[in-house]
Amino acid sequence: MKIIIDGRDVDVEYGETLLTAAKRAGIKIPTLCHNEAFEGQGRCRLCMVEVERGSMKNTVASCTYPITGEIKVSTSTPLIEKMRKNIVMLLYKQAPGSQLIQDMYKEYGCVDNSLEENNADERCILCNLCVLACREMGSSAISLIMRGTDKQVATPYNEAAEVCLGCGACAEICPTNAIKVIEKDGQRIIWNKVFNLVNCQRCGKPFATREQLGYIAAPGKDISTQSLCESCRRKSAAEKIQGFM
């Protein structure tokens, strides 16, 4: 099946989202709340595009729009660009401390807004990706709480969550670098919880929390003597392959 995106014929699969199809065809649509590991959320609305189906024309969030028939898509009309600029201005008000949002603010030619002093360091855009990543890890230690301007990502009662593994998947996926992770003296502090780090058996660098390794290890396995960091695991795998050649 084919659709037209920005004047180009693009092969698509029935039911896949517009964002996925565009991406595969090398057509860039901006987004902040989308990650390939998860279904589209339609939260940030940056991926809005214009869709023409017969005589109907609509603006839709491309990350949640399933392709079910012949359509003509425009990813960058004056209307779409105006909408994106307004969204970026709102994101800047929400998360002025984020370098990424600051860069987008300039890129979209937004004019200087006076910032409220009390949120100048704020970086969270409430995209929910960290919550999804945590859920995927099987922990669900964080969630979006409260409403309106008080909405935030937090652990229950903002306290150290028993189920948190300290894996840092939330911080890893965060597009705006909003999650604070402190690593020093063999410890990692995240979401108000202190974790002891396990050293890589090969290079000796601290690389993962005991809870994280315990969660993925086979029962009875001694995690402190059989753990390799990502880089050493790759080296070790390459050496094994060379050994077979």
Distance in angstroms (rounded) separating the CA atoms of residues 155 and 64: 28
> Least distance to ligand SF4 from the beta carbon of 117, Å?
21
Nearest-approach distance from CB 147 to ligand SF4, in angstroms:
15
The whole-angstrom separation of Cα 165 and Cα 212 is: 5
- Given candidates 61, 141, 153, 161, which one binds ligand SF4 under the rule CB under 6 A? 153
Nearer Cβ to ligand SF4 (35/64): 35
Per CB under 6 A, does 125 bind ligand SF4? yes
190 lines the binding site for ligand SF4 (CB under 6 A): no
Q: In angstroms, give the least distance from the CB of 163 to ligand SF4.
A: 17
Buried b (16+ CB within 10 A) or exposed e, 60-75: bbbbbbebeeebebbb
Coil, strand, or helix at residue 197?
A: strand
**126 or 198, CB closer to ligand SF4?**
126
With a CB cutoff of 8 Å and minimum separation 6, the contacts of 17 are 40, 62, 63, 64, 65, 66, 67
**74 φ, ψ (degrees, to nearest 5):** -120, 125
Question: Does residue 43 sit in helix, strand or coil?
Answer: coil
- What are the backbone dihedrals phi and psi of residue 175, each rounded to the nearest 5 degrees, phi first? -75, -15
- 13-34: b (≥16 Cβ within 10 Å) or e: eeeebbbbbbbeeebebbbbbb
Smaller CB distance to ligand SF4: residue 163 or 228?
Answer: 163
Q: Which of 19, 27, 49, 124 binds ligand SF4 (CB under 6 A)?
A: 124
Token pair for 189: 């502090």
Report in angstroms how near the CB of residue 98 gets to ligand SF4 at its nearest.
Answer: 8
Among 130, 165, 200, 213, binds ligand SF4 (CB under 6 A): 130
> In the numeric block, which tokens belong to residue 77?
């009309």
Choosing from 74, 76, 102, 128, the residue that interacts with ligand SF4 (CB under 6 A) is 128
178 binds ligand SF4 (CB under 6 A): yes
**Of the candidate residues 44, 61, 129, 200, the single one contacting ligand SF4 (CB under 6 A):** 129
Q: How far is the CB of 241 from ligand SF4 (least distance, A)?
A: 36
The one among 179, 200, 213, 229 contacting ligand SF4 by CB under 6 A: 179
Quick one: how far is CA 240 from the chain centroid? 34
User: Which of 5, 165 has the CB closer to ligand SF4?
Assistant: 165
What tokens does 84 get? 């994106």
126 makes contact with ligand SF4 (CB under 6 A):
yes
Residues 64-123 close enough to bind ligand SF4 by CB under 6 A = none
Residues that bind ligand SF4 (CB under 6 A): 124-130, 153, 173-174, 176, 178-179
